[in-house]
Amino acid sequence: MRIAVATEQDIPAIREVLHASWLAANEAIYSAAYIERFLKRTFTEKGLTHAVNNQGAVYLVAFAEDRLVGVCHFGAPLFDDCETRKELYYIYVHPDYWGQGVGTALLDELGHYLRPQRKTEVFTYLNPQSDAALDFFIHRGFVHLPSEDKDGESYLRRVL
């Protein structure tokens, strides 16, 4: 497996991974109508181009052989001085590669990227109904801090 910083050329494959993994992870939680609306307006080519080129964030991609199979987007938290922490905006792995270490490899690379910058923690928010996502993060050292939950999402933190 190879991990790299995303480029604009990766965007079509990034969209494929985001759509496939989001759908697989959430189809039991949301209605078909909601999913259709969400995927139509989220992870657009314009939005992903901005995300990939944003100097305030990092967009990592994972390749299995020559296929892009995972993404990890992280950067500065909103309304935070970010002296010691970064926010994991999202991490998704194509469902064909779930359970094969892609997500773990992306999190490991995130840690390798942040430690030299003296960042000591990373946090993320996730849908509390997503048991698979919660299990993934808990098994990789994240801790749920209910006092930090907001807007109906669970707050998880990991010390690097």
* Local confidence pLDDT in tens for the 160 residues of the chain: 999 999 999 999 999 999 999 999 999 999 999 999 999 899 999 999 999 999 989 999 999 999 999 999 999 887 766 688 999 999 999 999 999 999 999 999 999 999 999 999 999 999 999 999 999 999 999 999 999 999 999 999 999 9
pTM: 0.93
User: DSSP labels for 103-130?
Assistant: HHHHHHHHHHHHGGGT--EEEEEE-TT-
Architecture of domain 2-118: 3-Layer(aba) Sandwich (3.40)
Contact 73, 94 (CB under 8 A): no
Neighbours of 90 (CB within 10 A): 18
Provide the CB-side half-sphere exposure for 65 (13 A, CA): 2
CA-to-CA distance for 92 and 98, rounded, in angstroms?
Answer: 9
Q: What is the pLDDT of residue 70?
A: 99
Q: What is the pLDDT of residue 81?
A: 66
Q: What is the pLDDT of residue 83?
A: 82
Provide the CB-side half-sphere exposure for 55 (13 A, CA): 0
What CA–CA distances, in Å, run from 56 to 21, 24, 27, 122, 129? 25, 29, 32, 15, 30
